[in-house]
Amino acid sequence: MRITKDDATDHGGEDVWTDDDTVVADGCRNVTCGSHGRCEVISDAPSCRCDSGYIPQALSCVLAPDVPTLVVNLAGPARTTEAGGSTTLTVQLSHAPTHSVEVPLSLSLARKANLSDTSVTFTASSWSTPRQVIVTGKDDGIVDGDQAYEVILGPTQSQDEAFSGLEAAVTLTSIDGSCGNGIVEGGEQCDEPGASQFCAYGQTSCTVCNDQCKRVAGQRTYCGDGELQAGNGEQCDEPGASQSCAYGQASCTVCNASCKQVAGQLTGYCGDATIQSAHGEVCEGTQMPAGAACPTGQAGPVTCASDCKLDLSKCHSRVTAIATGGFHACATQLLGGAKCWGANDASQIGDGGYEIMSAPTSVSGLSGAVTSIAAQTHNCAVQAGGVKCWGINNYGQIGNGTTIEQGTAVSVSGLTNVVEVVTGGDFSCALLQAGGVRCWGDNGSGQLGDGTFDERRTPVAVQGLTNALSITAGWSHACARLQTGTVRCWGNNGYGQLGGETEFSDGGVVNVAGLSNVVAISASSYHTCALLQAGSVRCWGENFYGQLGDGTTENRTTPVSVTGLTGVSKISSGFEHVCAVLTTGGVKCWGNNYVGELGDNSTTQRLTPVNVSGITTAVDISAGTLFSCALLQAGTVQCWGHNSNGQLGDGTRTDRRVPVTVLGL
């Protein structure tokens, strides 16, 4: 408790000064007096000075009573000694009087002590200031042992009737004799200065003379007292020591009840066919706990590992892939089928209706394993080597030979052995197992790659393209990654998105200049990006919002390196931004950030990659129109950015600048 320098000086004693010119009296250390007072030292002992309306009681402050009373507290021990030992009382009033109040002081055994005052007086201005009364013991010359006596306060005298006749008393003990002089006198039971307080080793009991000249039980020295006495034959002394070895130990020694070191009892180990849950075991061989299963969002077999813990290494994400479109998103599920959420104005959710879905909804007509999915204003998925599509169909992009909008998944005509499908602005493409590519839908920019600009309602082969390993589609162009590690593109080249060193395109397939060792490609709107084997990324095409990541806003007809980006495992190009998954599980994005689609808790356009907030376990990424989604290792999906159609899947239509979890996956 801090007191002022002046107060500390008044109270005396050894003080400790602090930098703020206040002092802490040693006697007040660890004494708080509660929230309605402060500690002060009186006669080297702590006492409480209380706020208005409170009175001291022991070392705390309590509410003053309704009626006036004497407030008496000990500021020292409750004893005096005939050798002159003293104690101190503090006296004050509980309320302010209108006239002075005299408090007479007396002793019930006057021969035992002297009082520093025979009375104290309080006024209307001094009533709350504690008055000290020192009680000093004296030798009465009588060997009568320790005696109790009272300090009597009152009856008070005052013209204020409320304060007249108040009384109080404090009981003290007078300690007789002088312990430690070697002479048994007064109430002493013994007087043996420096006497040992220990019994002989092994004694079950004994008495000794303590420093207060009283006969008390001696401290025993024996096997089990926790002190090693080798001279008495003890090898150890560990009271209550376990007689068992630690879990997993093949052998050990323990201290027994005779203070000897002996072989301990084996507790057990992982592999002894007994589940010992107290030691962290949850399984043993084929013995599995009830309800053992993969974490939420995952599925697969759970087995018992060699450390008797559950082996979850074969658990797989329930969500196997994600795809983002214009203002909606889709996800495939491990147990089959797919779910979509967000905008539904063209039945792109696949539920047969047109209502916006802010949470994932199952695609009708799509069951069983789905190995690839793509989203735009229409969606397509690979199932059993064939392709099914749904949504808008104004250019025949559904591929069923019509231009009728499809509210549920329908099969694309004439496709088998498909391994991947992608969707562009109003067209679709499929990669065949043999390495060929077929496309259908709008062909106004030659994006179908068949050498014409004619719309196709069923798939046609991309001319001059073989040995493709993966494909991607932008708004009106497409690209393929070849077995050679190179990339070829076709379609619209108005911003150089084909990467062929020119902005001209005749509808044929062109080689992307200067690329090799490509392991993944991603196109969107009017730009394209490639992931290289070394973990870096190169992009080309439109760069109005910095989506090429080279620190500029200049369009590029050939690939340029994304600045400061290494260790990339996945990439995805959005409408005007790009995102990448790192091998560490983090995600970085760059480009337009109009509604927080970069996930860095801002809407600031970024010309180079920035970290997405809070994601550390991403395994896949998909960037859409003004929003992005990431698939996490646990099998859950998080999205961020524009949410006007519920495309973030969190059950709201509130834009988010940082990731939120998609509900219901």
Using the predicted structure, report yes or no on whether residue 410 has a pLDDT greater than 50. Answer: yes
Q: How confident is the model at residue 167 (pLDDT cuts 50, 70, 90)?
A: very high
Q: How confident is the model at residue 245 (pLDDT cuts 50, 70, 90)?
A: confident
Of residues 189 and 533, more confidently modeled: 533
Q: How confident is the model at residue 141 (pLDDT cuts 50, 70, 90)?
A: confident
3-state secondary structure 8-50: HHHHCCCEEECCCCCEEEHHHCCCCEHHHEEEEEECCEEEEEE
- Can you give the pLDDT at residue 178? 67
Using the predicted structure, report yes or no on whether residue 12 has a pLDDT greater than 60. Answer: no
Beta strand ranges found along 549-605 (DSSP E) = 556-561, 568-573, 577-582, 587-591
DSSP β-bridge partners for residue 198: 219
- Can you give the pLDDT at residue 13? 37
- Can you give the pLDDT at residue 501? 67
pLDDT tens-digit readout, 198-227? 888 878 789 988 878 889 988 888 888 888
Using the predicted structure, report yes or no on whether residue 635 has a pLDDT greater than 50. Answer: yes
Classify domain 317-661 at the CATH class level.
mainly beta
Domain boundaries, the chain: 5-175, 270-316, 317-661
- Can you give the pLDDT at residue 11? 34
Average pLDDT over every residue of 178-182 = 68
Q: What gap in Å lies between CA 479 and CA 35, rounded to an integer?
A: 75
Q: What gap in Å lies between CA 97 and CA 123, rounded to an integer?
A: 7
- Can you give the pLDDT at residue 1? 22
Contact between 218 and 238 under an 8 Å Cβ cutoff? The reply is no
Least confident of 24-28, 245-249, 300-304, 642-646: 24-28
Closest CA to 152 of 137, 139, 133: 133
Residue 126, CA distances (Å) to 41, 121, 122 in order: 19, 9, 6
Q: How confident is the model at residue 502 (pLDDT cuts 50, 70, 90)?
A: low
Q: What gap in Å lies between CA 356 and CA 503, rounded to an integer?
A: 39
- Can you give the pLDDT at residue 183? 63
DSSP β-bridge partners for residue 361: 340
Residues in Cβ contact with 46 at an 8 Å cutoff, skipping those fewer than 6 apart: 25, 27, 28, 31, 39, 40, 59, 75
Least confident of 105-119, 239-253, 346-360: 239-253
Q: What gap in Å lies between CA 119 and CA 370, rounded to an integer?
A: 99
Of residues 24 and 663, more confidently modeled: 663
Average pLDDT over every residue of 131-140 = 90
CATH topology of domain 5-175: Immunoglobulin-like (2.60.40)
- Can you give the pLDDT at residue 316? 64
CB neighbourhood size of 271 (10 A): 13
Q: Which of 51-65, 209-223, 335-349, 558-572 is modeled with the greatest confidence?
A: 558-572
Closest CA to 490 of 482, 504, 622: 504
- The label of the residue with tokens 């302010």 reads 96
Average pLDDT value over all residues in the chain: 89
Q: How confident is the model at residue 436 (pLDDT cuts 50, 70, 90)?
A: very high
- Can you give the pLDDT at residue 4? 27
Amino acid at 634: A
Average pLDDT over every residue of 483-497 = 96
Q: How confident is the model at residue 240 (pLDDT cuts 50, 70, 90)?
A: confident
Q: What's the first-to-final CA gap in the chain, in angstroms?
A: 58
- Can you give the pLDDT at residue 43? 64
pLDDT tens-digit readout, 385-404? 999 999 999 999 999 999 99
- Can you give the pLDDT at residue 238? 86
- Can you give the pLDDT at residue 19? 33
Q: Which 3 state secondary structure label does DSSP give 490?
A: strand
Of residues 251 and 468, more confidently modeled: 468
Q: How confident is the model at residue 36 (pLDDT cuts 50, 70, 90)?
A: confident
As a whole-number percent, the residues of the chain with pLDDT over 90 amount to 63
Q: What gap in Å lies between CA 526 and CA 265, rounded to an integer?
A: 74
- Can you give the pLDDT at residue 587? 99
